Amino acid sequence: MQIRPAAALTGALIGMSALFLPTATAQATGRTTHHHHHHHPVTVAHRGASGYAPENTLAAVDAADDLGIDWVENDIQRTRDGELIVMHDTTLNRTTDVEQVFPDRAPWKISDFTLDEIEKLDAGSWFGPDFQGETVPTLEEYMDRVSDNHQKLLLELKAPELYPGIERQTLRELRREGWLDHRHKRRLIVQSFNAESVRTVHRLRPDVKTGFLGTPAVADLPEYAEFSDQINPSYPTIDASYVAAVRSVDGAHGKPLEVYTWTVNDGPTAVSVAGMGVDGIITNKPDVVRDALDDAS
């Protein structure tokens, strides 16, 4: 496998991180063939390497790092007293021991609990005894760990309709922690299922890369492209022609819209979506996806 010297130029044109050579012969003769022309998507550890460690914890960030995975994905929400934390569900009971600690507080909504209360919870034991004592991270703790590990973050604003102003608050916190400076900006993408929320992020900080989670109709893509750089659909909703249609529209920063698809946890599916031309694969098992892509290229 060789990396084509012109990859930087071509990659910049079509927004890919790497292009792989068809064959050495083709390069030598100047012929091009699509036969072995593999596009190598980036692998993103979904909620951290959540197949191997409790989702959305520092242990899951470290598990991704231990596998050599640069990109992690998480979910941001807000406590009753206005602190930003990392959790997927809008309630605390699936991924913590809240039902034991606060038995009379059903339905255990995040927005009904203070940060102090949430910090008392065990967010690891539900996944396995090795992770007992793992806590729900604040956004700040989470960013510090991603930074220490030299990783990159696909940050999801989860259910932002429940947390008015969370876009501005999240950006303010990221800026305070240095994540919006020139060097860090390329290490951050902010995404949401809520299009208005993505639009707000783009309006407040047009320099930040953004993604819309979902599978908009092709006819609506130009509208999403006003405020998004990525369209991030679930993998069962896509095919090669949809991916091509998305990538043929320029996003908010004038580059072709990228496609990061989720949640792909097996090698054959990873190879299949890579063949459709996606730019990123979001997965609970980033080693499985990466190894399958490596073997196929």
Does 89 sit near Ca ion (CB under 5 A)? no
Q: Contact with ligand G3P (CB under 6 A): which of 46, 145, 247, 285? A: 46
Q: Contact with ligand G3P (CB under 6 A): which of 151, 262, 265, 277? A: 262
Q: Contact with ligand G3P (CB under 6 A): which of 134, 156, 167, 279? A: 156
Q: Which of 38, 40, 46, 202 is catalytic?
A: 46
Q: Which of 37, 88, 184, 253 is catalytic?
A: 88
Choose one: 68-76, 78-86, 233-241, 252-260; the region binding Ca ion (CB under 5 A). Answer: 68-76
Does 64 sit near ligand G3P (CB under 6 A)? no
88 is catalytic: yes
Closest C-alpha among 158, 173, 147, 154 to residue 286:
154
- Measured distance CA(113)–CA(90) in Å, rounded: 11
- Alpha carbon distances (Å) from 270 to 74, 235, 278: 20, 9, 10
Does 62 sit near Ca ion (CB under 5 A)? no
Q: Contact with Ca ion (CB under 5 A): which of 65, 156, 258, 287? A: 156
Number of H helices, E strands in the chain: 13, 9
* DSSP reduced 3-state for 169: helix
Contact 94, 126 (CB under 8 A): yes
Count of residues in contact with Ca ion, rule CB under 5 A: 2
Name which of 46 and 205 has its Cβ closer to Ca ion: 46
Cβ atoms within 10 Å, residue 161: 12
Q: What is the DSSP letter of 137?
A: P
Residues found near Ca ion in the complex (CB under 5 A): 75, 156
Active-site annotation, residues? 46, 88
